Every structure is written in C-alpha cells, then in structure tokens.
Structure 1
C-alpha cells in the first residue's frame, strides 16, 4: 500500500516506460492543479498535501492493467480535475487520450493544462457524454463518474469485447458489481494501492444479456 508522497512518487517512477520527461510533466501537472485550485474547487484542498498519492499515483496504478502499446485510444469519462485523464496522458504521450467533460470551467482547465504540458496526444471532448459521437476505443476509465449500471448504459457503445474498463470506485466497488444485472461482463474488483478502503472495477463487457421470456400461462 502506498502510504505517503515519497512512496507515491517512487511507485510512479518505477512503472515500465516512465522516464524523467514523464515525471517532469507530472510535477508540472501537480503545480498547475494547485494553482488552479485557488480559482475553482477542482479537488479537495486537503488532498493537495498528498497530490502524488491521492491523485497522480491513484491514476497511474491503472496502467498496470493495460499494455502501453495497445492502451489507446483511451476514453476517460467525466475527467473533471484531470484524473485519471491528464495523468495518463502525461505517462503515455504516444497514446490518444480523449477526455469527456461537460462543465465549462473544467473544459477550460483541461484544455489549458493539456496545452501547457505539451500533451499533443490529449483532446478534450467538451460535451455531455450522451452527445459524444460514437467510436470504439481500447480503454475506458471513469473516476467517480456514475453508478456502474448507469455508466454502462451511457458508454457501452464505445466498447468492444476487447475494450478494457478501469473504474476506480472507492468503497462502493464490490457492492456496485454485486448489484449489476443485465450485462454479460467479465468484471472483478482489484484493491487500490492508494486507499485501503477503495477498489477498482477492472474487466471487459461483451454486451447486454438477453431478457428472459416469461412463461406462458
């Protein structure tokens, strides 16, 4: 378990393919976040003292479930403050990263941060998810975006049976997965490395399950 900022930074630095340039981008992202948080409430002020643990390493751990070479296109739903979207874009600069966000001030922040960090691989889709043009992607992530059943209803159209879903869910992960019905899926819960009480729903979705027909009387 990652317990502090030193461990969080060391964890990210040790991930395959992470170089000095990636760590520099993440340092600059953290600085931009702290500055922007004085203007709008992107994240809780208390979490900024642990920005590497609470936000950067928390996002970076998702990379352990995908291959760097085949992770993209990556669709991040409800990116908000930029996690995991901006953090992943910093770590995978060759991967197309699409960030869906509908709130005007968050769209402006994400766009400005991506430009400042030189993230040519990152693009902000400034729209409600329902209005985003359908396309298929290799990875879908969402951090505290919507309940699992609602999330699948909204975004399964971007998925194929080979798409990896990475859904940090906090304490509700196991309960949401247990309550999920109507989907042919291969989901399981992984323990978060940054929060002992949190889980990440990981897996694939084949589609909706056929509705059973009632018996004739």
Structure 2
C-alpha cells in the first residue's frame, strides 16, 4: 500500500479504505481461485494496483465516462481505476467465468458502486458502446484494437477522442508494426521509477 501512496496522495478516506482492503481480499480469493500468480500476491500493490493506476497518471476521465475493461482477469486495471475515479462507470469483462466471480466478490466487498461485470468476450458485446477501452497485456495490440473499435462511441472532435489504453511490457516494435496503428507510448518507469516498471508501457490508440 505504501508504494501507491508514494505516487498518489489525494485520496478520500473511503478510497484509502477500499485500497487497503484489496490486499487481504485478493489473498483470500487467490486461495480459492488463482487469479494472481503466487509469487506476485505479496507484491499486489506494486505489480497490480500501482501498475493499473499508471493509467490515472496520464489520463483524467470526466464524470460519467463509460469505460470497458477488456479481459479484466482478476480486475486489473478496472478495480483500482474504479476506486480512483468513483464518478466514472466501469464495465469489466472476461471470457473466464471464475475470474469474473473474483471481480464481483472484490467489488462488492469494498462497496464499489461504479462497476458492472460480465462473463463474455468483446466480440459478443452487441448492445453497448463505450467512451474508452482499457486492457492489460491480454492480447497483441492488433487484436485489442480490432475488438475495441466496434465498441467505441463516436465523439465530436472537441471531446476526448474515444480509443484504447492498454498496459504492455517488453519491446513493442514488431507488435506496433503488425497493428497498423500509430499509438502514443509512455514508459511507466518515467512515472514510477521502480525496477519493476523499466520495460512496462502505457499504449494509447485514438480512434
């Protein structure tokens, strides 16, 4: 928890309580359903919570923005972002039902009112459009953009352009070339100079 507070300090008491609760909740759920690797669970706040919140370090989402977390896994980046942006609506989806069960359990336990969940794939979402899609290391950029594009609202030019923000690691040269998009890349190490983030990136694609 201390590593999150090292880089973010403007939390309400409720947000602090929600963030603090994540540590024990994920340990408990991980005993039943393994959504975080055993070696990472003790580094939850650095490798999962702070990693997710790197998006909040580069982007501000207006109230009532609707965001899809594609392939949320155990709830990342969606759960930490939903705590950080309580006025923003997050829809967390994953194709693996037991992972969504964990997400629902965590969200309910900390009283997140701005999170909905679904056990589904992106290509099966037919009835909703979103302002933005976020994702963490789920698939190649080419695929993420292919799945995201049909789910994005069309916004007037003066508004924030809908698009995709994803968290990626390693050398992205080939992946970006294959994607045919021209993303903006932010190295997370420049935001959070911790060893874990040296080869971690935020990739932003505008529609």
- Is the aligned partner of 1:135 residue 2:131? no
- Is the aligned partner of 1:189 residue 2:188? no
- Is the aligned partner of 1:31 residue 2:24? yes
Preserved CA contact (<8 Å) 1:66 1:164: no
Preserved CA contact (<8 Å) 1:135 1:157: no
- State the secondary structure of the residue aligned to 1:165: strand
Preserved CA contact (<8 Å) 1:187 1:203: yes
- Is the aligned partner of 1:13 residue 2:9? yes
Bigger-Rg structure (1/2): 1
Preserved CA contact (<8 Å) 1:187 1:204: yes
Alpha-carbon distance change, 134 to 147 in structure 1, aligned in 2, over 3 angstroms: farther
199, 202, 207: which is aligned to 1:200? 202
Preserved CA contact (<8 Å) 1:12 1:60: no
Structure 2 equivalent of residue 69 of structure 1: 62
Preserved CA contact (<8 Å) 1:9 1:57: no
What is the TM-score of this pair, normalised by structure 1?
0.82
Structure 1 equivalent of residue 37 of structure 2: 44
* Runs of 4 or more consecutive aligned structure 1 residues displaced over 4 Å after TM superposition: none
Q: 1:79-122 CA distances to partner (integer Å, 9 max, x unpaired)? A: 01111011111111111100011212112111121111111110
- Is the aligned partner of 1:107 residue 2:100? yes
Q: Offset at 1:135?
A: 2.9
Preserved CA contact (<8 Å) 1:77 1:142: yes
Map 1:127-166 → 2, pairs under 5 A: 127-159=120-152, 160=154, 162-166=161-165
Q: Offset at 1:196?
A: 0.2
What's the RMSD between the two structures over aligned residues?
A: 1.9
Ranges in structure 1 where 5+ consecutive residues have no aligned partner: 206-217
